[in-house]
Amino acid sequence: MRTHDDEMPKVKLPSLQDVMDADPAGSRVPDPVHGALPPPVRRIVLDQPPTVATPAAPQTRAAGAGAAPTPGHGGVRHAGEPGPERMRLDALSVFYDDKAAVKSVDLSIRQGEVLALIGPSGCGKTTLLRTLNRLTELTASARREGRIALDDTDIDELEVTTLRRRVAMVFQQPNPFPMSIFDNVAYALREQSMKRPGKAVIAPHVHDALQRAGLWDEVKDDLDRPALRLSGGQQQRLCIARAIATRPEVLLMDEPCSALDPKSTEVIESLILELRKDLAIVIVTHNLQQAYRVGDHVAFMYLGDLVEYGAAEQVFGAPRAQRTRDYVGGAFG
Amino acid sequence: MATQIHQGPPPLPPHGGFGDGPRGSRKRGGESLSTWRYGDRVAYAMCWFCGIALCVIAGAIVLYMAARGLQYLNFTLLSTHPEAGLDQKKTGGFLDPIIGTVLLTIIGIAIATPIAVATAVWIVEYGRPAWLARLVESGIEVVAGTPDIVIAIFGLALFQQSLFAPLSLTADGGAVFGRSFLTAGAMMSLIALPMVFSATREGLQSVPALVREASYGLGKTKIATIRRVLLPSVRPNISTGMALGMGRICGDTAIVIVLLGATLRLESEGGIPGFNVLKGTGSTLTSYVYNNSPAGEGNAPQKAYAAAFVLLLIVVALNFTVDLIARRGSKTGLETGRLGA
């Protein structure tokens, strides 16, 4: 993990490689306080009973389990088994003109877990997120360095349309298309340069996507209604349905709840926990409680640097870097 | 305004209310206009006056035309062909000009709409290089600002070239007549094009960037985004532009007189059914009104009034039809929805 040496406190973080592979012998700089990272812990259950049993913590992580809260305290829910690595960022930097917005970040995104990106405004977390499916390329002044791999393939080698179908995005503002609910999802399903499949072919897939986004029961009777007549929370779930309709491997969410009321936020958060089983989810959020609630891992960014990366419990409970401590404690941001 | 739910004393000082609308301040403390500055009072009065005055003027035109038109209008006028003659009782009706108006409008708008929409899409969505975009925009501004009579004589010069011979009558000596529904329609499209263009451009510009991003984020290309998302959502704008453009075409006289051949009746040309009408000449309600006004040869003001009223009805009907089509075809919900709510 890259750190800002001049401002860093004495504690040196283990590199990402160490965290992910967690080969204790190969640990270059063992964390003096915590050892390796504790397993990710889920704290809230929302409405549903836990769906995932306490995982057999990966051996390598068990070494650091001492720092983790004891499993089984009230309402604790453990993350699912971390799945295979989906995306990998190596020394990723993004520049707008000459200004670095993201500075040499290494990260790993795994299936079956939620990675929450937190940090003060302008720290580069949204830029980082948008780089993952090359949406930054829409900004003329943006330039990228470093490598991003999706399933070990450099994303530059993929057709950008393919990449964006595999790494889907949900935006900050609910942005359904000005068309019917059905067409919003169907549009995502109709593949580029393919013969447009008919409604009968596509309807089951639309149904499925809306079902998974938890919207089906609310809209099944009026799929022909304009999507813009839905409430804000429903619109955002429609956007999620649209994004997951193509069965992406990674779902990027850019502050998906910031425009929503608490109730809709709760619904979307439980949806995130539900979707996490099949997907790798990266969520950018300003809401620390939200990062705490939905994040399996949390990455704290500051001025373009990845300052701290770890299990949610660790980053919020026992942050290693001074700046993380300040931010989480509300000293700035 | 939220002011209506205020209870108790008004939050503003008695002479305050800066930036407050008259309605709000009146309801709050029973303030009268006398507390306003003179400039504000004049501006306020002007807004009311101009708004009402415009309604009155529009109403006066319609009512006057309706009164005069209905006075002379009868079914025979609508259903008989015009005849040349000195006796007004024998000069027939204006069926041909009505058909001519409709035909010319359809040709003009059919040519103008695709060009205007494509240009607007290019300007808003591509628009590179910037100098070319500026050039295109000023080109359209020039077209919009060119008087129709200038467009008409330019069209005549253009379509009399032998290249365009298939569009109109070619005389025995080989001279190209240059006047037909097709040539007039082509030039009419220039009248309508700026209307459709600016309406479409404004519509596209008002589609929030996040809608485009959403589409790109789903792995769609730019052109797919334009065709499947942007154009459907600006359909109401396009039809508004079309309605305005058709109104302009219906109402244009100069191009008709110069380029449509100014024959009273529809005169077909050539042997291909349907196409022969388009290749032929005719007149429209505007040229008919002109000819029958005291300024024209016919000098039958009664018929001019009747025809003018019919023209007005056609324009109003066009507007309503286009509006209806746009509203029925649109499932966007943009009008009542809350994008990014």
- Cα first-last separation, chain A: 22
pLDDT in tens, B247-298: 899 989 999 999 988 787 888 877 778 888 888 888 899 998 888 888 777 7
Do B59 and B91 fall into the same domain? no
Do B83 and B180 fall into the same domain? yes
pLDDT in tens, B45-92: 999 999 999 999 989 988 998 898 888 888 888 888 887 776 777 777
What the block records as the tokens of B330 is 């649109």
CB contact under 8 A, B217 and A169: yes
Give, as one character, the DSSP assignment of residue B188: H
Do B145 and B64 fall into the same domain? no
Q: Is residue B28 part of a domain?
A: no
- Helix (H/G/I), strand (E/B), else coil: B228: helix
**What is the predicted pLDDT for the residue at A82?**
66
In terms of Cα–Cα distance, which of B217, B38, A329, A174 is closest to B225?
B217
Q: How far apart are CA A295 and CA A77, in angstroms?
A: 12
**Three-class SS of B238-288:** HHHHHHHHHHHHHHCCHHHHHHCECCCCCECCCCCCCHHHHHCEECCHHHH
Chain A within 8 Å of B231 (Cβ-Cβ)?
no
Provide, as residue numbers in chain A, all residues whose Cβ is less than 8 Å from the Cβ of B210.
171, 173, 175
Q: Is residue B164 part of a domain?
A: yes
Q: Is residue B296 part of a domain?
A: yes
Do B104 and B39 fall into the same domain? no
Q: Is residue B212 part of a domain?
A: yes
Output the CA angle B309-B312-B314, nearest 5 degrees.
Answer: 110
Q: Which of B72, B93, B127 is the C-terminal boundary of a domain?
A: B72
Q: Which of B72, B89, B120 is the C-terminal boundary of a domain?
A: B72
pLDDT of residue B159 exceeding 50:
yes
Give me the residue from A133, A138, A228 closest to B338, CB to CB. A228
Domain CATH for B122 = 1.10.3720.10
Fold held by A16-328: Rossmann fold (3.40.50)
B199: containing domain: 74-329
Instruction: Say how many domains are in chain B.
Output: 2
Do B144 and B223 fall into the same domain? yes
Q: Is residue B294 part of a domain?
A: yes
Do B56 and B191 fall into the same domain? no
**What is the predicted pLDDT for the residue at A115?**
94
Q: Is residue B10 part of a domain?
A: no
* % of chain B at pLDDT higher than 90: 37
Chain A within 8 Å of B326 (Cβ-Cβ)?
no
**Average pLDDT by consecutive 10-residue portion of chain A (333 residues)?**
44 42 39 40 33 35 35 39 83 91 92 92 90 90 91 90 91 90 89 70 90 90 90 92 91 91 90 89 91 92 92 89 86 55
CB contact under 8 A, B337 and A171: no
**What is the predicted pLDDT for the residue at B112?**
96
Domain boundary assignment for chain A: 16-328
Output the CA angle B16-B19-B25, nearest 5 degrees.
Answer: 55
CB-based contact B218:A187 (threshold 8 Å)? yes
Give me the residue from B216, B218, B336 closest to A138, CB to CB. B216
**What is the predicted pLDDT for the residue at B81?**
84
Do B80 and B60 fall into the same domain? no
For B211, nearest residue in chain A (alpha carbons): A175
Residues of A with CB under 8 A from a CB of B: 133, 135, 138, 160-165, 168-169, 171, 173-180, 183, 187-188, 192, 224-229, 231-232, 235, 239, 242-243, 246, 259
A vs B: CB pairs below 8 A: 103
- Cα first-last separation, chain B: 20
Its ipTM equals 0.71
**Three-class SS of chain A:** CCCCCCCCCCCCCCCHHHHHHCCHHHCCCCCCCCCCCCCCEECCCCCCCCCCCCCCCCHHHHCCHHHCCCCCCCCCEECCCCCCEEEEEEEEEEEECCEEEEEEEEEEEECCCEEEEECCCCCCHHHHHHHHCCHHHHCCCEEEEEEEEECCEEHHHCCHHHHHHHEEEECCCCCCCCCEHHHHHHHHHCCCCCCCCCHHHHHHHHHHHHHHCCCHHHHCCCCCCEHHHCCHHHHHHHHHHHHHCCCCCEEEEECCCCCCCHHHHHHHHHHHHHHCCCCEEEEECCCHHHHHHHCCEEEEEECCEEEEEEEHHHHHHCCCCHHHHHHHCCCCC
Burial of B161 (0-12, 13-18, 19+ CB in 10 A): exposed
Do B108 and B234 fall into the same domain? yes
Q: Which of B16, B45, B72 is the C-terminal boundary of a domain?
A: B72
Q: How far apart are CA B310 and CA B286, in angstroms?
A: 10
- Helix (H/G/I), strand (E/B), else coil: B341: coil
Q: How far apart are CA B84 and CA B92, in angstroms?
A: 8
